[in-house]
Structure 1
């Protein structure tokens, strides 16, 4: 793992229904982002985004917040070298579950599998 920046403060969230999970806070207290697995012939690179880049995944993928969709509380937390994302649910109910948010199926009901129950 390569630490790509110094630790940074998390930006305020726009709603009291949203909260940063403690493991995400711990990560950002340690560093401001990271690169996992340098891209190469046999592997995909994952960039844990800096706190400044934590934005709603619907804005990134669809250009709109889609506030009435289940994914409206998901934020981009990791970008792959092929331009896809892993998103994290910052709703208090979602409690940090992470989802595969790729360009082909993001926003299609039932097509964004949970890849982790926590950051």
Structure 2
């Protein structure tokens, strides 16, 4: 793990990866659901900040709650359904042409 500090406070701006990394903070109401989709050019890591959800990854379905971490590899169908009010922080590490995936997210 890399943690950098500038002047004893904050986080260093020193690059730690040549990959593009995205960070999303998502809030869903009880019953809301994302459509089943894939991302061919990036992997995702979900951290469940609060609430409970059903997550489908490929052929598996699991129930997750506050404090759980979920890994989603590139190219695998997945979706999230909020069982209760839900907050997820998702980290995305892009490995290819991420513009195609981002467009697909907004169009579907």
TM-score, structure 1 length as denominator? 0.28
Structure of greater Rg: 2
TM-score, structure 2 length as denominator? 0.29
Q: Which has the higher strand share?
A: 2
Compare relative contact order (CA 8 Å, sep 6+) and give the higher one, 1 or 2: 2
Q: Which has the higher helix share?
A: 1
